[in-house]
Amino acid sequence: MDIPLTAGATLRPLVLPARADAADAGEFRELARVRNLVYREITGRDEDDLTPEALLPILRSRKERTTVVWAVRIGEEIVGRAIVNIPHEEGSRVAIVSIELRPHVWGRGIGSAVLPHLEDVARQHGRSVLQEWLEQQPSDGPRIEAQTGFGSVPDDHVSRFLLRHGYQLEQVYRVSHLTLSPETIQHARELLADARASSTDYRVVHWMLPTPADRAEGYAWMKSRMSTDAPSAGIETDEETWDVARLQEGERRLAEMGRTVLVTAAEHIATGELSAFTELAIGPDHDAVTHQEDTLVLREHRGHRLGQLVKCAALLEWLDIAPRSPRVITYNAEENRPMLSINEAMGFTPTAYEGAWKKELT
């Protein structure tokens, strides 16, 4: 049933098809196309494009979360989408929300008309905190500082919309790129040698997904630590429980998406404990950009240059997996100075910023 909004727009709940190429998947495929358009129009890049086949597994509800999706329409034209994710971690107060509209329909009150429907879903699930992550269009104008004091985003239409509706900017992520050239590769070799000299109690290990059985438990433990050890500022982060079953289910989704993923980890030689890791991933097109996904050094193993060790080792290993990929993109919290310093030393350059916004429901 279509929900009337304003300015001729409607909100239509999206029923996900069983397959992206199913006979009834036309609306979903159009939504995927519009999603990519929105990202391109806002960021000026196509690196976040997803095929319908890759998007479908992301939007399905799963054991760890419930996902609700709507298409925003004007007449028969899809002009955006709205999403609510409800994490299932025990005691969670959080709903993760997103309103994505084509810029040509901004300023008509459509986003303001959509937001109460997202809040209703959050309340129905007993949630009192809304959180949203947004990359905004570059601007040389006034800025809004994060609550942490680290980083800022443009004081633009998007920021004003969020502030008007009770959100605060809690954290800023830096989006950085590394061009894969002979010079940056040679520099990575030098940085790797330097890191090895400071981490003689550790060895580097690599594997491709799916994770081998002898690494699954340790890797799942490190994934669970992403929710407790990574900087989160004022953003509420539910402590996640990862076991081997959850890890394997996530890897099946990545395989369905057509992702190739390398995991590079540091293993503590004396105990065999996996102590740090990073992930490099790419879609079916190996000429496209490489995404650096989760990267973490466990708190109890910090101070041995393990972040530099795994990031440089992964990059060099990746050359044999996706040799035609031209660059790597990564995201880091602006207050995460140790990881930013590693990126800067490797040659990553800042290209954009993403805000993490939070609203307390009354």
Q: Domain span at residue 181?
A: 177-355
Give a yes or no: residue 141 inside a domain: no
Residue 244 tokens read as 């081997």
**54 touches 255 (CB < 8 A):** no
- The domain total for the chain is 2
Q: Using 50 as the pLDDT threshold, list the residues of the chain that sit under it.
A: none
Q: Give a three-class secondary structure readout of the chain.
A: CCEECCCCEEEEECCCCCCCCCCCCHHHHHHHHHHHHHHHHHHCCCCCCCCHHHHHHHHCCECCEEEEEEEEEECCEEEEEEEEEEECCCCCCEEEEEEEECHHHCCCCHHHHHHHHHHHHHHHCCCCEEEEEEECCCCCCCEEECCCCCCEEECCHHHHHHHHCCCEEEEEEEEEEEECCHHHHHHHHHHHHHHHHHCCCEEEEEEECCCCHHHHHHHHHHHHHHHHHCCCCCCCCCCCCCCHHHHHHHHHHHHHCCCEEEEEEEEECCCCCEEEEEEEEECCCCCCCEEEEEEEECHHHCCCCHHHHHHHHHHHHHCCCCCCCCEEEEEEECCCHHHHHHHHHHCCEEEEEEEEEEEECC
Same domain, 345 and 225: yes
| 24 and 112 belong to one structural domain | yes
**Cβ neighbour number for residue 77 with a 10 Å cutoff:** 12
- Residue at token pair 């097109």: 285
Distance from C-alpha of 331 to C-alpha of 175, rounded to nearest angstrom = 5
- The predicted-structure confidence for 114-140, as pLDDT tens digits, reads as follows 999 999 999 999 999 999 999 988 888
pLDDT the model gives residue 43: 92
As given in the structure block, the two tokens for residue 162 are 């969020």
Position 23 scores a pLDDT of 97
Do both 298 and 199 map to the same domain? yes
Same structural domain for residues 210 and 109?
no
Q: Tens of pLDDT along 169-204?
A: 999 999 999 999 999 999 999 999 999 999 999 999
Buried b (16+ CB within 10 A) or exposed e, 244-271: eebbeebbeebeebebbbbbbbbbbeee
Domain finish residue from 97, 127, 157: 127
Q: Is residue 47 part of a domain?
A: yes
CATH (domain of 342): 3.40.630.30
**Backbone Cα Rg of the chain:** 21
State the pLDDT at residue 139. 84
- Asked if residue 316 and residue 230 are part of one domain, the reply reads yes
- Does 205 lie in the same domain as 79? no
Greatest CA separation for the chain: 66
Asked if the structure places residue 30 within a domain, the reply is yes
Report yes or no on 100 lying in a domain.
yes
User: For residue 230, what pLDDT is reported?
Assistant: 86
pLDDT at res. 124: 98
Structural domain ending residue among the three candidates 127, 161, 191: 127
In the numeric block, the tokens 């358009």 are attached to 37
The answer to whether residue 362 is domain-embedded is no
Q: Is residue 139 part of a domain?
A: no
Beta-bridge partner residues of 171: 356
> Model-level pTM greater than 0.75?
yes
pLDDT reported for residue 233 = 86
Q: Do 193 and 118 share a structural domain?
A: no
C-alpha 178/C-alpha 208 separation (Å) is 22
Task: Flag whether 134 is in a domain.
Answer: no
Please tell me the number of Cα atoms within 13 Å of 296 on its side-chain side: 19
What whole-number distance in Å separates Cα of residue 48 and Cα of residue 215? 29
Domain check: are 283 and 224 in the same one?
Answer: yes
Alpha carbons 194 and 185: distance in angstroms, whole number: 14
